[in-house]
Amino acid sequence: MSQSAVSTSCNLMNNYARWPIALVKGQANTVWDDTGKAYLDFTSGIAVTSLGHCPPQVTKALQEQLETLWHCSNLFRIPVQEELAAKLAEVSGLDKVFFCNSGAEANEGAIKIARRYAQKIKGEERYEVITFHQSFHGRTLATLTATGQDKVKDGFLPLPEGFISVPYNDLEALKAVITERTCGILMELVQGEGGVHAADPAWVKAVRELCDEQGILFMVDEVQTGIGRTGTWFAFQQYGITPDVVSVAKGLGSGFPIGAVLAVDKVAEAFSPGTHGTTFGGNPLATTAGVATLATIEQENLLARVNQLNEYLVAQLQKLQQTSGDKVTHIRGRGLLIGVELTQPAADIITYAREKGVLLHSAGPNVIRLLPSFVTTEQEIDTVINVLTEALLQG
């Protein structure tokens, strides 16, 4: 471990099982540690740096904004915020946007707007939100309670009431828990943290219909899947449905912290002045990063590129599966959110890859999660496949 990695960790709370490297520089798909060693980054900061590290168009826009205005409160109009909201409405098909700072805050906002819509717009005493096993929605008290994984809840009792979790892709289990208290259903269309499991399209359409029948909100957590990660602006656009509420963050700012709640007009009416707010959300720097990110994706046709890279990556992974014996059991996901399930601990493969200069991430004990940037090359994919092949042979 480098001296700087040791010295900077001693005053930090022990929240993370940190890798023994200190990253100090990034460019495109390469990062360097403080010893000068280069790594090919296939984590993208956990689906954040979708345009690679320090993308030129976003960097230039932020540099210009840094010399103009960093922060002003939401007591004032912020033109670039309005520009980003208009663009998000255009590419999503939803109507209104509330900006915040993170995915957890976006999901908090989604939960709050669902409750307030039921209670203040519809005049119904509804407050329960239904989520799904193995989901992940954040680390605040409300969002960890919404999360369908017990491990994130340990030691935080009592948890807020109003959340129920049921099996994923199970319509009958969902129907069984809907009551007169239900205000919304919140789902990920690809469960990233939960093992990279995609929702069944027929089930998603049935849930949308069920929400319409029951008069409850259909909400989609696109924190990890949104802004092109699955090959369309939003994953829901591949399912033939439109949600009432969408949460988004991660890839929206190319690494600059930003989150957002999108909603259709009738639901957005639930938020009026004083009902929900933020000091930093939607500030000029964050929304400048968002505008430049979306512009880059559009101008460089990167949604099409995501789909091209998906085809190549999956094809190479399938070859790996065929040559690995029984060590690779499943390859799943959408776009550039791909899970590779193994018969051995993913941590062993991730450690081997890191030593070879490739950064990978997990999604559970036996799943490697591949999250390359949208500007990854086929040659870089080949490098990762070669390292995975070596790692599996070592096992």
Architecture of domain 3-55+301-394: Alpha-Beta Complex (3.90)
pLDDT of residue 9: 55
**Cα separations in angstroms, 53 against 181, 256, 379, 386:** 45, 11, 18, 23
Q: Is residue 111 helix, strand or coil?
A: helix
Residue 166 contacts residue 133 (beta carbons within 8 Å): yes
What pLDDT, in 10s, does the model give residues 344-379?
999 999 999 999 999 999 999 999 999 999 999 999
Parts of the chain belonging to CATH 3.40.640.10: 57-299
pLDDT < 50 regions, the chain:
1-7
pLDDT of residue 8: 53
User: What's the CATH number of domain 57-299, 2.40.128.20, 3.40.640.10, 3.60.10.10, 3.30.565.10?
Assistant: 3.40.640.10
Q: Is residue 31 helix, strand or coil?
A: strand
Token output for 312: 């190549």
pLDDT of residue 7: 46
**What's the whole-model pTM score?**
0.95
Parts of the chain belonging to CATH 3.90.1150.10: 3-55+301-394
CA 323, chain centre distance (Å): 32
pLDDT of residue 193: 93
pLDDT of residue 130: 98
What pLDDT, in 10s, does the model give residues 112-169?
999 999 999 999 999 999 999 999 999 999 999 999 999 999 999 999 999 999 999 9
